[in-house]
Amino acid sequence: MNFSRDDFGPDFVWGVSSAAYQIEGAWNIDGKGKSIWDVFSNTRGKISKNQNGNIACDFYRRYPEDLSILSQLRIPNYRISLSWSRIMPSGTNTINQVGVDYYHRLIDMCLDLGIEPWITLYHWDLPYDIERKGGWTNRDIIGWFSDYTECCIKLFGNKVRHWIILNEPLVFTGAGYFLGIHAPGRKGLNSFLAAIHHAAMCQAEGGRVVRSLLPEALIGTTFSCSLVEQQKNNIHDLLAAKRVDALLNRMFIEPLAGLGYPVTDLKMLRRLEPFIKEGDEAKLAFDMDFIGLQNYTREIVTRSRITPFIWARVIKAEKRKVIMTEMKWEVYPESIYQMLKQFSKYTNFKKIIVTESGAAFHDEIQNERVFDEKRRNYIEQCIGQVLRAKREGVSVEGYFIWCFTDNFEWAEGFNPRFGLVYIDFESQRRIIKESGYWYSRFLQKSEQLV
């Protein structure tokens, strides 16, 4: 496929993404309160090699350097998140002015450099004091999150136009409250179900708060998604794939679209009933200006008689002997095309923005350069698949690469590198990778891609 930036039209949005906990560091200074990730990553055995995000990319101190690199690459949009516990150390009431001032400086520098900030309100770093009250399992979080959202809009709404409510609610509820492999490390179906419903309520309520205070804002929320396909061509694997698709791809977008939870294809969701109060079903829906699609791979599933609740098993990529990333995810760029087609069926959302797309591959420094051909090729192919969907009528209007710089990749620590910019985490030295230079050239329309 031959294409250039011009093929996407003049209004298509191009950018890169990041998240506060993964880059900022400065975890316990200048009045910041603890987040669940501060506690989790400093608990021995929770993170690969017992690493933590205490310093991460030191972005809190080094953001002028990083934004200068972003400006050098002429990347026009930067998706960043706010740390709830840096703004409100206990999660409620008291505001930390030093943290607020930091975000004002960060946003102001973006604007001064001609970089449009896209703000994510919640990217997984829940204040620890709120977790001690039950976190996402406590229904009161709907009010706490609404108050936090209102605070952020009043503080920064006059400078920021694009607001994203939640990042990947299925991941932070599933990995954090069911599997226990992410912060806060809780396990159990009831915790998971409570967290699901309260997060679904918050994504809609957050949207209403932003719209009431900032009518001109463009409001969205993001969803993780993976193409789900059956292993064998039989009814058992077909139904297994439907159940996994309902869990991975439909759990949060369908209630937001006014369709309710996908109970028909995932019977375990009937157990949500004790958490649903009168009037909740209507409050789950909200007309977002855009939805953020975040895709990295596909999953192949088969029926399993021993996996409770979903009665399906994901066949790992390494067992299928396919090409994989450092995350052991299958390299399958067509997945993003298929998910754009699937999400485009929710017609009440005006447009789709790909808010994360990227890959972790092994990087090496050679003569002060990082030649990451695999990453460049993967991103190029994904952009081609986005154009394929756009040409077929999908209202996809933006593409953000995950991520701008290498960072702290949650439970995997610092080993997986997704960035367009290499970071030596010991010296904090930055080196723009070849993929970063390539993306910059592409955005300047100076090369035709094949």
Print the SS3 string covering 93-144.
CCCCHHHHHHHHHHHHHHHHCCCEEEEEEECCCCEHHHHCCCHHHCCCHHHH
In angstroms, rounded to a whole number, what is the distance separating the alpha carbons of residues 92 and 136?
Answer: 14
Pick the closest to residue 183 from 410, 444, 428, 432 (CA basis).
410
pLDDT (0 to 100) of residue 450: 38
In angstroms, rounded to a whole number, what is the distance separating the alpha carbons of residues 248 and 224?
Answer: 7
pLDDT (0 to 100) of residue 321: 95
The secondary structure element, H or E, covering residue 170 is helix 169-177
pLDDT in single tens digits along all 450 residues of the chain? 489 999 999 999 999 999 999 999 999 999 999 999 999 999 999 999 999 999 999 999 999 999 999 999 999 999 999 999 999 999 999 999 999 999 999 999 999 999 999 999 999 999 999 999 999 999 999 999 999 999 999 999 999 999 999 999 999 999 999 999 999 999 999 999 999 999 999 999 999 999 999 999 999 999 999 999 999 999 999 999 999 999 999 999 999 999 999 999 999 999 999 999 999 999 999 999 999 999 999 999 999 999 999 999 999 999 999 999 999 999 999 999 999 999 999 999 999 999 999 999 999 999 999 999 999 999 999 999 999 999 999 999 999 999 999 999 999 999 999 999 999 999 999 999 999 999 999 999 744 443
- Catalytic machinery residues: 168, 356
Rg of the chain over all Cα atoms, to the nearest angstrom? 21
pTM exceeding the 0.75 threshold for the entire prediction:
yes
DSSP string, 277-324: PTTHHHHT----SEEEEEEEEEEEEEE-SSSTTT-EEEE-HHHHT--B
pLDDT (0 to 100) of residue 449: 42
DSSP state of 338: H
The structural domains of the chain, with segments of one domain joined by +, span 5-443
Contact 81, 120 (CB under 8 A): yes
Could you tell me the two tokens for 350?
């005006």
Three-state secondary structure call for residue 346: coil
Q: What is the largest CA-CA distance in the chain?
A: 64
Q: 180 in the Ramachandran plot: left (φ > 0), alpha (ψ -120 to 50) or beta?
A: left
Could you tell me the two tokens for 95?
């505001």
Residue with tokens 């136009």, as numbered in its chain: 161
State the architecture of 5-443 in CATH terms.
Alpha-Beta Barrel (3.20)
